[in-house]
């Protein structure tokens, strides 16, 4: 049976089309309105409030907490400061990615790790002979994402405190309507944004406060469909869409390393030990075979494929999640595949996230992409682009 999040009594009456989807055993809104357009533009132009409670969450505490996390993730957790948040993947012994998420350092010996899939048993397996406790708090901790240009102004009013000193990927504590919360300057939209973490049993007043304070700023409850467009614009990976966890891969070719996912920056190569270290170092020496890149579809080329048939261009109204072949600039050989894509309303460009052979990963490299026009497979021109596609200054300012 699907469960409901701590905010369901507020979100359910807002769902005009009852457009729900499954996320980690919970039911969450795909969109609240009949179209996700207004929710998307709230992310980019005002503020959007998203229920992200289904994330898996684990508290890791004890003398060896930092040692455990340094053993399992590629980032250098030991060098992090209290109040810092790290984005990181974690790998198997062969250097292939199992999952990715964030680690928030709540204290000297206290951390919260979030993930897309269950990792409690895996953390426990790696914690043998260590002085550490691991608590699955996924159901106990509710979480909201407040994203968009007005996010800080709204949250400052709700929390009644100045948040300008909270830097990108840092955290602070506050109280909203009497509910103690942890606020992290993080999110999955590539925009200015915060995530608010609280005990599930006292979560509703936080939602109410944010909606009340945010109404003059144009706040809009937002679902997964709008979030999907925003995260593609931001070039952010989605597990089981843009890469396959080693737990789910059926063959070796389906697995990816951090270097193949263009996550080199998340690997602390000078750490003496972490799962997959030897394999990743060897791959670094020889060069990764694949790279994860942005690909922009050429509009003129795409338009011509439709106009030759007397049709206006047709694009998906929602972000898509499927494998689409990519070919070299001449269209003679397949050199990769797109994994998700969308029309970007703010950039006015047709964008995809893709895996390509490393020699085709340089920004500006010409490619062709397979498109379907009136039931026939055609090819449009495309170009490799740097990620993220959308990277506003306000995100870090």
What is residue 115's predicted lDDT score, i.e. its pLDDT?
98
What is residue 1's predicted lDDT score, i.e. its pLDDT?
79
What is residue 141's predicted lDDT score, i.e. its pLDDT?
98
**Which residue in the block uniquely carries the two structure tokens 């026939």?**
376
Q: How far apart are CA 113 and CA 135, in angstroms?
A: 10
CATH number attached to the domain at 57-136: 3.30.70.1400
Enter the tokens of residue 168. 């990108």
Question: What's the CATH fold of domain 252-256+289-385?
Answer: Elongation Factor Tu (Ef-tu); domain 3 (2.40.30)
Distance of CA 101 to the CA centre of its chain: 8
What is residue 304's predicted lDDT score, i.e. its pLDDT?
97
Enter the tokens of residue 93. 């012994």
What are the residues whose beta carbons fall under 8 Å from the beta carbon of 253, sequence distance 6 or more? none
Burial of 380 (0-12, 13-18, 19+ CB in 10 A): buried
Kindly list the strands in the beta sheet with 171-176, ordered across the sheet, starting from the edge strand earlier in the chain. 171-176, 179-184, 193-199, 141-147, 47-51, 219-221
Q: How far apart are CA 66 and CA 75, in angstroms?
A: 11
What is residue 2's predicted lDDT score, i.e. its pLDDT?
86
- Model-wide pTM > 0.95: yes
Name which CATH class applies to 3-55+139-222: alpha beta
Q: How far apart are CA 233 and CA 227, in angstroms?
A: 10
Q: Burial letters for 9-46: b for 16+ Cβ neighbours within 10 Å, e otherwise?
A: ebbeeebeeebbeebeebbbbbbbbeebebbbbbbbbb
Pairing of strands 219-221, 47-51: parallel
**Which residue in the block uniquely carries the two structure tokens 């579809």?**
297
Angle between helices 151-159 and 204-214 (to 10 degrees): 120
pLDDT tens digits in sequence order for the chain, 397 residues long: 789 999 999 999 999 999 999 999 999 999 999 999 999 999 999 999 999 999 999 999 999 999 999 999 999 999 999 999 999 999 999 999 999 999 999 999 999 999 999 999 999 999 999 999 999 999 999 999 999 999 999 999 999 999 999 999 999 999 999 999 999 999 999 999 999 999 999 999 999 999 999 999 999 999 999 999 999 999 999 999 999 999 999 999 999 999 999 999 999 999 999 999 999 999 999 999 999 999 999 999 999 999 999 999 999 999 999 999 999 999 899 999 999 999 999 999 999 999 999 999 999 999 999 999 999 999 999 999 999 999 999 999 9
**Domain ranges for the chain:** 3-55+139-222, 57-136, 252-256+289-385
What is residue 26's predicted lDDT score, i.e. its pLDDT?
97
């Amino acid at each position: 049976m699907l469960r409901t999040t701590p905010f369901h009594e507020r979100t359910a009456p807002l769902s005009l089309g009852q457009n729900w989807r499954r996320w980690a055993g919970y039911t969450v809104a795909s969109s609240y309105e009949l179209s996700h357009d207004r929710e998307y533009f709230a992310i980019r132009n005002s503020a959007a409030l998203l229920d992200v409670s289904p994330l898996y969450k684990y508290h890791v505490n004890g003398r060896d907490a930092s040692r455990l996390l340094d053993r399992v993730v590629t980032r250098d957790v030991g060098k992090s400061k209290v109040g810092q948040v790290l984005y990181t993947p974690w790998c198997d012994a062969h250097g292939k990615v199992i999952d990715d998420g964030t680690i928030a350092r709540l204290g000297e010996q206290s951390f919260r790790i979030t993930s897309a899939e269950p990792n409690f048993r895996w953390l426990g397996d790696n914690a043998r002979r260590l002085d550490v406790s691991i608590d699955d708090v996924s159901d106990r901790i509710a979480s909201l994402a407040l994203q968009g240009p007005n996010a800080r102004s709204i949250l400052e009013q709700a929390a009644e405190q100045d948040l300008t000193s909270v830097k990108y990927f840092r955290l602070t504590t506050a109280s909203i309507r009497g509910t103690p919360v942890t606020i992290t300057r993080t999110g999955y939209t590539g925009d200015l944004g915060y995530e608010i973490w609280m005990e599930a049993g006292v979560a509703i007043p936080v939602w109410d406060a944010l909606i009340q304070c945010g109404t003059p700023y144009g706040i809009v409850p937002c679902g997964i469909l709008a979030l999907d467009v925003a995260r593609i614009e931001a070039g952010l990976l989605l597990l089981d869409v843009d890469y396959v966890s080693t737990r789910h891969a059926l063959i070796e070719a389906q697995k990816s390393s951090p270097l193949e996912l263009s996550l080199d920056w998340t690997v602390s190569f000078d750490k003496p030990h972490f799962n997959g270290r030897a394999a990743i170092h060897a791959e670094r020496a020889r060069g990764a075979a694949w790279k994860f890149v942005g690909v922009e579809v050429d509009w003129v080329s795409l338009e011509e494929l439709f106009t030759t048939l007397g049709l206006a261009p047709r694009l998906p109204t929602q972000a898509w999640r499927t494998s689409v072949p990519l070919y070299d600039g001449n269209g003679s050989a397949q050199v990769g595949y797109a994994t998700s894509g969308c029309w970007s309303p703010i950039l006015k460009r047709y964008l995809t996230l893709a895996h390509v052979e490393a020699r085709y990963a340089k920004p500006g490299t010409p490619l062709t992409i397979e498109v379907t026009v009136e039931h026939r497979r055609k090819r449009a021109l495309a170009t490799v682009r740097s990620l993220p596609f959308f990277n506003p200054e306000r995100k870090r300012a």
